[in-house]
Structure 1
Amino acid sequence: MEAKTKKRIAIVMGGFSNEHDISIKSGNAVYEHLPKERYACYRILILERGWFYLDDDNREHPVNKDDFSLHLEGEKLNFHVVFNAIHGTPGEDGLLQAYFELLGLPQTSCNFYQAALTFNKRDFLSSLKPYGIRCATSYYINKGDAVDQEAIVQKVGLPCFVKANKSGSSLGISKVYKKEALAKAVESAFEHDDEVLVEQYLDGVEVSVGVVRYQGQTKVLPITEIVTETDFFDYEAKYLGKSTEITPARLSPLQEEKVSAVALKIYEILKMKGFSRSEFIFVGNEPYLLEMNTTPGLTSESILPQQAKAAGIPFAALLENAILEAMS
């Protein structure tokens, strides 16, 4: 097949957050595994200093932001689909989704509203409580607010989690055991965002549930159980090998049924599309929602590809399906 007859896919990666390096790994994995006989793939770096096409010799060529096009060898090149592999801003918080929607350019992740909502843990969890979705008790702090340690402990108890409200990969998160440690934990979280979420500690089995649109159907993937060497599923556990991810999870049939139903319900309530991966903690047999990722990792260490494999979906098929769904 001639290159000009192939669908041109822009794989966007990088971004402006501390998840930049993980996004590069995800984007390169997408680039390596998409079938080259059907797709002409272009790695697009989205950086604060500019947007660039990265060729096979790692040379940078500027992207025209007016219409998201390239000029290569004297020819203008437009794309058919954008494959979003950016974790964090601007790929997971709705900014790029809105831009591509304005351009009329299909992209693989959810729409801009859903991305913005799910990226804001506070608003995301609050929006689902009226639907009966169980969540941990929370306390909210904006930058500049006084840190009322007594009020925090009274509401959420100890130990508790202090989290940057809009951040991924467990960046800006601390587990706090003593009231006196709250101020420092909040200060650390403010390094990543201007809003902080303090959450009740839930003691139970942690699981991750992938939900995707696959071949025109919404599909709940096999569940992953997270067993960490660290105190919780932090950055080291996620990306530096200090966790064991067990797929399928060691759940009872009742637990599996309940968390699968809740994950599917959330996906449908929010009118999601593309990939999603939601995190839950079991308290007894009841799953409590922690957060949702709408551009989950796509590296060899990542959970969603593990789940797809357990469901009998090869990695390349998972990626190609995302493109087909975006174009449908």
Structure 2
Amino acid sequence: MKKNIAIIMGGYSSEYDISIKSGNVVHKFLDNSKFNAYRIIISKEKWVYVDLENNESPIDKSDFSVTVEGKKIRFDCVFNAIHGTPGEDGLIQAYFELLGLPHTSCNHYQSALTFNKRDLLSSLKPYGIPCAQSYYVNAGDHIDERAIIDKVGLPCFVKANRAGSSYGISKVYKQEDLTAAIANAFTEDDEVIIESFLDGTEVSVGVITYQNEIKVLPITEIVSENDFFDYEAKYLGQSQEITPAMITKPQEKAVTDLAEFIYRTLRLKGYTRSEFIFMDDTPYLLEVNTTPGLTEESILPQQAAAAGIDLKTLFSSAIEEALR
């Protein structure tokens, strides 16, 4: 009997539209010989199942079911395609875990930890994982520009602590631009992380659980046409994403081993994509994404294709692993 799969998409953050695109790609390529796929759009205003004619049916949040034409539909598994809150920060994972409903993403603690850049880097620091110098600012704090620059230097990156897709991020070259950059980051989150600039080769490493084993996918090198890998570079074609990356064998081994170590150490599952910058042959960790983009142009599907895994197989595997 085919399994009922809820593909959740949307969310509460600026990444809503990107998540809708990811969710629709999952719906398009999900193996309909194995699964009945249901598009579930989650927003602050409503949680609804949307059929192919765009008719909406409300989700019963008490058990995450939906009634269509008088028939109550329960789901066997949730495919999580929500970027940002509540799908990438642990909130919806905790809800599904309370309901006992399998889902394709990390568990709630790991999702919350990785989504919080400051906490992620702090938790990995005892393992000696290299990362940029950083300085933290919360909403309402006094901003000591001199102290910030003394610690991280210029140029530096100002980032919203809990946001994705490069929302709320600025590269700052001059002290007088620092306060405006922090204000911009505060539009996405009330916590900010300011990091030193690492001048090196940027790579993205996908690590997934596939056929009951942890698998590191071919590495992608990111060459942005802009000043850094910002929103336009990620989504509007203003970058080159080269898979496999044009890096040396020692670099490839170093970053592959480190990405797998992080996945195992944090006890991650499902799909992840970690970002690094090489300083000589040493990979410095930038962040870990536990709900990466899943459009046909997104980095992780590109990496899977380079590994000989098509989207139908990739998506089926995620559900099979969750059900396992």
Same fold flag (TM > 0.5): yes
CA distance in 1, matches of 2:105, 2:22: 14
Pick one of 156, 165, 168 that aligns with 1:169: 165
Per-residue CA distance 1:141-195 (angstroms, 9 max, x = gap):
0000011010001000000000000000000000000011100000010010000
Do structure 1's residue 229 and structure 2's residue 225 form an aligned pair? yes
- Aligned residue in 2 for 1:148: 144
Provide the residue aligned with 1:182 in structure 2: 178
Supply the distance in 1 between the matched residues of 2:33 and 2:270 (Cα, whole angstroms).
23
Q: What does residue 286 of structure 2 align with?
A: 290
Equivalent AA in structure 2 for residue 207 of structure 1: V
Residues 266-311 of structure 1: per-residue CA shift (max 9 Å, x gap): 0000000000000000000000000010000000220000000001
State how far apart, in whole Å, the 1-side matches of 2:197 and 2:285 are: 12
SS of alignment partner, residue 257 of structure 2: helix
Mapped to 1, the partners of 2:297 and 2:178 lie a distance apart of 32
- Count of matched residue pairs: 324
* Residue 124 of structure 2 is aligned to residue 128 of structure 1: yes
Per the alignment, residue 320 of structure 2 pairs with 324
Instruction: Tell me what 1:113 maps to.
Output: 109
Give the superposition deviation at 1:75.
1.4
SS of aligned partner of 1:307: helix
1:192 aligns with 2:194: no
Stretches of structure 2 lacking an aligned partner (at least 5 in a row): none
In the other structure, the counterpart of 2:84 is: 88
Matched, 1:56 2:52: yes
C-alpha displacement of 1:208: 0.1
CA distance in 2, matches of 1:163, 1:35: 38
How far does the alpha carbon of each residue in 1:73-98 deviate from its partner, in whole angstroms, 9 at most, with x for none?
A: 21111000000000000000000000
Q: Structure 1 counterpart of 2:71, which letter?
A: E
User: How far has the Cα of 1:15 moved from its partner?
Assistant: 0.3
Q: Matches of 2:296 and 2:230 in 1, distance apart?
A: 18
Which residue identity lines up with residue 143 of structure 1 in the other structure?
A
Map of 1:6 onto structure 2: 2
User: 2: distance between equivalents of 1:319 and 1:231?
Assistant: 34
From 266, 274, 281, give the equivalent of 2:277. Answer: 281
- Residues 27-106 of structure 1 correspond to what in structure 2 (within 5 A)? 27-106=23-102
SS at the partner of 2:180?
Answer: helix
Return the offset for 1:37. Answer: 1.3
Alignment-derived partner of residue 250 in structure 2: 254
Task: State the SS of the aligned residue for 1:45.
Answer: strand
Deviation at 1:132, TM superposition (A): 1.1
User: Which residue number in structure 1 is paired with residue 295 of structure 2?
Assistant: 299
1:261 is matched by which residue type in structure 2? Answer: D
Identity %: 65
Give the Cα separation in 2 of the matches to 1:180 and 1:235.
24
User: Which amino acid in 1 is paired with 2:70?
Assistant: G
Q: CA deviation digits over 1:226-250, x for unaligned, max 9? A: 0000000000000000000000000
Q: Report the alpha carbon displacement of residue 20 of structure 1 after superposing the two structures with TM.
A: 0.3
**1:185 is aligned with what amino acid?**
A
Partner of 1:203, secondary structure, is coil
Aligned to 1:205: 201
Which runs of 5 or more residues in structure 1 are unaligned? Answer: none
* Equivalence for 2:134: 138
| Cα distance in 2, alignment partners of residues 43 and 216 from structure 1 | 26
**C-alpha displacement at 1:136, in angstroms?**
0.3
SS at match of 1:231: coil
Within 2, Cα distance between the matches of 1:176 and 1:249? 28
Partners of 1:227 and 1:58 in 2: how far apart? 38
TM-score, scaled to structure 2: 0.99
SS at match of 2:60: coil
Give the secondary-structure state (helix, strand or coil) at the position aligned to 1:238.
Answer: helix
CA deviation after TM superposition for structure 1 residue 260, in Å:
0.3
2:177 corresponds to which letter in structure 1?
A: A
Partner SS state of residue 63, structure 1: strand
Question: Which contiguous aligned blocks of 4+ residues in structure 1 show a shift greater than 4 angstroms?
Answer: none
What letter matches 2:216 in structure 1? V
The letter for the 2-side match of 1:208 is S
Counterpart CA distance in 1 for 2:58 and 2:94 is 21
Please give the alpha-carbon distance, in whole angstroms, between the structure 2 residues aligned to 1:75 and 1:277: 38
> What is the rounded CA distance, in whole Å, between the counterparts of 1:145 and 1:243 in structure 2?
36
